[in-house]
């Protein structure tokens, strides 16, 4: 027989969760609400007391601003390019690291170095590697006769590609390690059974490995999309958004608007819009992948 729960016992969970909830309210909810409020004001950091309520004006002016639209487009390319290439390189890395070869432990450890390197350091390293006057990439490509003369990779309208390359180098180990852990969790009997049934290596990978590590793929990709969307260190240090507007992404533009142009309200409105766009994109992404999983992705 179930004993009726008394009032004190009903309050207990709230009491236990209270400190955590209070902390969340302070460090998550308050800044979030404050950002929403700020985006409705015209405010300069130099004159915080002279803030003016402007309603939705900050949002309206953004939607008409070609630079904002350009930065959204660049952000989409930055996220899609970075995450898809990081995933591909990471998956290849995970499959290689899953094989048995001498010194595997050492290679697994070393492969994490890019992930552990600070963003600004990665940016500086890649800036020099891609340098138009004496960068090592130019040197190699000229010696291999792939290009005729040195190219200013970061001073061309395609500079975002150079920054994406640096991001792929830095971010791929995260995918490699997470996917490797997931792959190692797949029971070997499944591969044996598939082998007996006549499945080749590709079919084993596509029909067994991928479906079973799908939850890991989903969560890591989602995390990387969020991190990459907010990640501005590489762009800021390597190109500053240039040349011109060629590589400006949303967080970089929001930073410049708030701290260089001193329009904090407008900068915050950009951040709010980015959060909204990210929420919509991620909901669609999750729905798509969950649908696939339920629709027979797992054999």
Partner 1 sequence: MKRKAVVLVLALLLINTAFAYGATTVKYLLWLDDPTDRTVHDLVDKFNALHPDINVVMETVPLSNYYDQLLMAISAGAGPDAARFKDWWLGAFHDADLLEDLSPYLEDWPGRDDVIDELWSTGMIPGVDGVYMMPHQFITFYMYYRADWFKEAGLQPPKTFADFLAAAKALTNPAENRYGFGLRGGSGGQDQWLAFMVAGGARIVDEQGNIVINSPKAVEVNQWYIDLFKQHKVAPPSAPTDAYPQVTGAFQAGNTAMMAHHVGSSVMMTQALGREKVGVLPIPSADPAKPATMGTMSGNVVFSTSDVKGAAFKFISWLSETEAMDKWSKSRQGQLPVLKSVAGQEFYVDNEFFKVSIEGGNYAVVWPPLPGVGYVSAYVWQNTMQRALLGEITSKQMLDEIAAALKEAN
| Phi–psi pair at 258, nearest 5 degrees | -80, -45
What is the DSSP code string of 81-150? HHHHHHHHHHHHHHHHHHS--TTHHHHHHHTTHHHHS-HHHHHHHHHHHT-TTT-HHHHHHHHTTSSSS-
What is the 8-class DSSP label of residue 299? -
What's the chain's Rg over C-alpha atoms? 24
Peptide bond into 137 cis (omega under 30): no
In the complex with partner 1, which residue's Cβ is closer, 89 or 142?
142
Interacting residue with partner 1 among 260, 294, 295, 296 (CB under 8 A): 260
Interacting residue with partner 1 among 10, 14, 106, 149 (CB under 8 A): 149
Asked if 259 interacts with partner 1 (CB under 8 A), we say yes
Cα–Cα distance for residue pair 113/128, rounded to 1 Å: 19
Interacting residue with partner 1 among 61, 84, 216, 245 (CB under 8 A): 245
Asked if 131 interacts with partner 1 (CB under 8 A), we say yes
User: CB of 201: closest distance to partner 1 in angstroms?
Assistant: 45
User: CB of 257: closest distance to partner 1 in angstroms?
Assistant: 9
Asked if 119 interacts with partner 1 (CB under 8 A), we say no
Contact window for partner 1 (CB under 8 A) among 93-101, 109-117, 126-134, 170-178:
126-134
Asked if 61 interacts with partner 1 (CB under 8 A), we say no
Asked if 44 interacts with partner 1 (CB under 8 A), we say yes
Asked if 46 interacts with partner 1 (CB under 8 A), we say yes
Tokens of 256: 């410049």
Asked if 194 interacts with partner 1 (CB under 8 A), we say no
């Amino acid at each position: 027989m179930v004993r009726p729960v008394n009032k004190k016992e009903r309050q207990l969970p709230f009491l236990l969760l209270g400190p955590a909830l209070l902390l969340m309210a302070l460090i998550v909810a308050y800044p979030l609400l404050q950002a929403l409020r700020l985006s409705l004001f015209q405010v300069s950091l130099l004159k915080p007391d002279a803030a003016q309520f402007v309603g939705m004006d900050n949002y309206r002016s953004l939607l008409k601003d070609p630079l904002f639209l350009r930065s959204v487009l660049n952000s989409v390319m930055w996220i899609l390019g970075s995450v898809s290439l990081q995933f591909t390189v990471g998956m290849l890395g995970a499959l290689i690291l899953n094989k048995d070869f001498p010194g595997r432990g050492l290679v697994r450890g070393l492969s994490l170095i890019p992930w552990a390197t600070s963003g600004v350091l990665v940016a500086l390293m890649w800036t020099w590697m891609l340098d138009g006057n004496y960068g090592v990439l130019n040197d190699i490509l000229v010696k291999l006769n792939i290009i005729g003369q040195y190219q200013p990779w970061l001073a061309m309208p395609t500079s975002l590609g150079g920054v994406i390359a640096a991001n792929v180098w830095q971010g791929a180990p995260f995918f490699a390690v997470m996917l490797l852990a997931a792959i190692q969790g797949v029971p070997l009997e499944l591969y044996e059974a598939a082998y007996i049934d006549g499945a080749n290596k590709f079919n084993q990978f596509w029909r067994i490995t991928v479906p079973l590590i799908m939850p890991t793929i989903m969560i890591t990709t989602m995390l990387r999309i969020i991190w990459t969307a907010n990640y501005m260190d590489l762009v800021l240090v390597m190109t500053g958004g240039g040349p011109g507007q060629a590589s400006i992404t949303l967080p970089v533009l929001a930073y410049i608007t708030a701290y260089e142009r001193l329009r904090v309200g407008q900068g915050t409105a950009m951040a709010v819009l980015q959060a909204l766009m990210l929420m919509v994109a991620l909901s669609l992404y999750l729905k798509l992948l969950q649908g696939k999983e339920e629709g027979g992705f797992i054999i």
